[in-house]
């Protein structure tokens, strides 16, 4: 990308090249690359919300949205325009700056995490060797948006939602981190591309077999981290109205919404990269490795998110804490010990 821009600049007349210093070319090329990843992401998010309403609709024997456009396909755009033109209401005595900055703080880390995601062997924006750590750090930043939104709204329900969310995210992040430690022990690298490539071979080499408990813990913790049902006590419509974003309207609400759905897609994508071999093909004789496999696997986990929401009732708050601290974390610690022994004695096809 940088080469393309450098060539473009070299064709400009000399006086115009003055306005394109190196750092500016760098900035432009990075912004364009980021947009190449983020714009499709926004479209996927838009249609994910549509899919959610349709899928849950069919699960509850309804049709779901079917009025806007053929089969309701333009519904996401209708929703988007509605949210864009709605008034942004700032509650009295709310902390104005923090109130407006909170959605950005929820949204920005959710986008930033996509920088290190590899889509196949070569298609990766930033191929850093501490990719897994970077993802963990970025996903742990998202909680600030929720906490600040809850506090700045000057509303009881919002503050309660923020408190619930903070405790929940801190609890589940530990289990999630431990599950990722298992992956990096098996993969021998923090680079996401290397982790996928170390699962090469056949389906039996994918990490979900030797790391099955960690795979389960990771996905459950992922659902909890994104505040989705059945762990959506931070929103809890029946208890605290809408939790941390009860005072938000219009575009500020839409930004929270975008961040949440981008995070759900990110968790689905990471689960398929880390445990299900990413772009590796399950049937190498039938069809080779392709980005389509990655999308298929990701799509499956995205469907699971919706399926959970239609199936499970919301957890009680103390049981969420119990599950996080007393079940998931011990499971990961025990399995890390087992895995450590397996790695030391080079067990099976996985740790050889």
Partner 1 sequence: MAIDSIIFYFFAISTVLSAASVVTVRNPVHAALFLVLTFFTTACLWMLLEAEFLAITLILVYVGAVMVLFLFVVMMLDINIARLREGFIRFLPVGIALALIMFGLIYKVVSDNQFSLESMAAPVAKAADYSNTKELGKVLYTEYVFAFEIAAVILLVAIIAAISLTLRRRPGTRYQNPSEQMKVRKQDRLRIVKMEAEKQ
- Residues forming the site for partner 1 (CB under 8 A): 22-23, 26, 98, 128-130, 133-134, 136-137, 140-141, 143-144, 147-148, 151, 159, 162-163, 166-167, 169-170, 173, 190, 318-319, 322
Nearer to partner 1, 170 or 287 (CB): 170
Sign of CA dihedral 82, 89, 168, 211: positive
Phi, psi of 222, rounded to the nearest 5 degrees: -65, -45
Nearer to partner 1, 98 or 241 (CB): 98
* Least distance in angstroms from the C-beta of 236 to partner 1: 18
Residues paired with residue 49 on neighbouring β-strands, in sequence order: none
* Least distance in angstroms from the C-beta of 38 to partner 1: 21
8 A C-beta contact, residue 265 and residue 44: yes
Nearer to partner 1, 84 or 137 (CB): 137
* Least distance in angstroms from the C-beta of 201 to partner 1: 24
Cα–Cα distance for residue pair 53/242, rounded to 1 Å: 18
- Assigned token pair, 160: 């309660």
* Least distance in angstroms from the C-beta of 138 to partner 1: 8
Nearer to partner 1, 49 or 95 (CB): 95
Nearer to partner 1, 127 or 237 (CB): 127
* Least distance in angstroms from the C-beta of 178 to partner 1: 13
Q: DSSP for 179-217, please give it.
A: HHHHHHHHHS-S-HHHHHHTT-SSGGGSTTTTTHHHHHH
Q: Tally helices (H) and strands (E) across the chain.
A: 15, 0
Nearer to partner 1, 49 or 126 (CB): 126
**Which residues touch 72 (CB under 8 Å, ≥6 apart)?**
50, 54, 64, 65, 66
């Amino acid at each position: 990308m940088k080469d393309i821009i450098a060539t473009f600049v070299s064709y400009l007349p000399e006086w115009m090249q003055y306005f394109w210093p190196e750092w500016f070319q760098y900035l432009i090329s990075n912004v364009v690359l980021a947009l190449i990843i983020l714009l499709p992401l926004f479209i996927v998010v838009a249609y994910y919300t549509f899919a959610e309403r349709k899928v849950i609709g069919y699960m509850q024997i309804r049709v779901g949205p079917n009025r806007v456009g053929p089969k309701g396909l333009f519904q996401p755009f209708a929703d988007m325009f509605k949210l864009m033109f709605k008034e942004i209401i700032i509650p009295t005595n709310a902390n104005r700056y923090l109130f407006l900055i909170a959605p950005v703080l929820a949204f920005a880390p959710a986008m930033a995490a996509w920088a290190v995601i590899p889509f196949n062997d070569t298609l990766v924006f930033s191929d850093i060797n501490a990719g897994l750590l970077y993802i963990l750090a970025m996903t742990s930043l998202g909680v600030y948006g929720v906490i600040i939104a809850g506090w700045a709204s000057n509303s009881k329900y919002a503050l309660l939602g923020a408190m619930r969310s903070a405790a929940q995210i801190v609890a589940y992040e530990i289990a999630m981190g431990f599950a990722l430690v298992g992956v990096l022990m098996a993969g021998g690298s923090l680079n996401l591309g290397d982790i996928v490539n170390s699962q090469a071979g056949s389906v039996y080499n994918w990490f979900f077999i030797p790391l099955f408990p960690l795979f389960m813990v990771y996905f459950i913790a992922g659902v909890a981290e994104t505040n989705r049902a059945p762990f959506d006590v931070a929103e809890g419509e029946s208890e605290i109205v809408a939790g941390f974003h009860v005072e938000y309207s219009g575009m500020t609400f839409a930004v929270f919404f975008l961040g949440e759905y981008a995070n759900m897609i990110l968790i689905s994508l990471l689960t398929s990269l880390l445990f299900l071999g990413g772009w590796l093909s399950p049937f190498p004789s039938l069809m080779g490795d392709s980005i389509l496999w990655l999308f298929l696997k990701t799509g499956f986990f995205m469907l699971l998110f919706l399926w959970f929401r239609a199936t499970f009732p919301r957890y009680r708050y103390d049981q969420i804490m119990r599950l996080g601290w007393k079940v998931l974390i011990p499971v990961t610690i025990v399995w890390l010990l087992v895995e450590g022994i397996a790695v030391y004695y080079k067990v099976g096809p996985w740790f050889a």
